[in-house]
Amino acid sequence: MKKEIKKLKNIKRIGKVGLALTSLFCCTNTCFAAIQDSPIVTGTENLIADLTSWLLILAPVLTVLLVGYFFLRKAASDEMDAKRWDNRIKIAIISCIGVVVASGLINVLMNYYR
Give tens-digit pLDDT for 30-68: 555 566 667 777 888 888 888 888 988 999 999 999 999
Predicted pLDDT of residue 90? 95
Mean pLDDT of 86-108: 92
Mean pLDDT of 10-35: 59
Q: How far is CA 22 from the centre of its chain?
A: 25
Predicted pLDDT of residue 65? 96
Which of the pair, 103 or 16, is modelled with greater confidence? Answer: 103
Predicted pLDDT of residue 99? 93
Domains of the chain: which residue ranges? 1-31, 37-112
Predicted pLDDT of residue 98? 94
List CB contacts of 107: < 8 A, sequence separation 6 or more. 49, 52, 53, 56
Average pLDDT over all residues of the chain: 80
* Residue 103 burial (CB count, 10 A): 19
CA distances from 6 to 13, 14, 15, 19, 66 (A): 11, 12, 14, 20, 53
